[in-house]
Structure 1
Amino acid sequence: MDDEPAVQCSAKRCRSAARWALRWNNPKLHDAAYRKTWLACEQHRETLGQFLELRGFLREVTAFRPTP
């Protein structure tokens, strides 16, 4: 579809535009400086963040800025 955003939320079945970058790592698998990124829309920022926080994975949440 042409009306779908180019960069979408990472939540399952969500096609909304990404607005937030949730940076995380699993300390059992990754070096302390390593970061993976999930993108979130406004609706899923909190739930995705809670999922990561509960496991001790969430490191930071920043506004998502796509690179040109």
Structure 2
Amino acid sequence: MTVEADVDGFGIHPALLDAALHPAGVLVAAGTEPLLPFVFSGVRLLATQARTVRVRMTGGGGGVSLLLAD
């Protein structure tokens, strides 16, 4: 998935992060409640001004691991 946004004033644009999190619901096993991210941990921002990102998402144990790369 590729998403582009104006990044001025943001470490990472909220729309890019939101779009990257949308597929989290696909990782939920059938018959369970959808995942809704509300706690973030281990967040590191190594670069700014990304206009497009690639997303790698893995899930398990009731959580999702997300890696964004520009």
Q: TM-score range by the shorter chain?
A: under 0.3
Q: TM-score, normalised by structure 2?
A: 0.22
Query: Which structure: greater helix fraction?
Result: 2
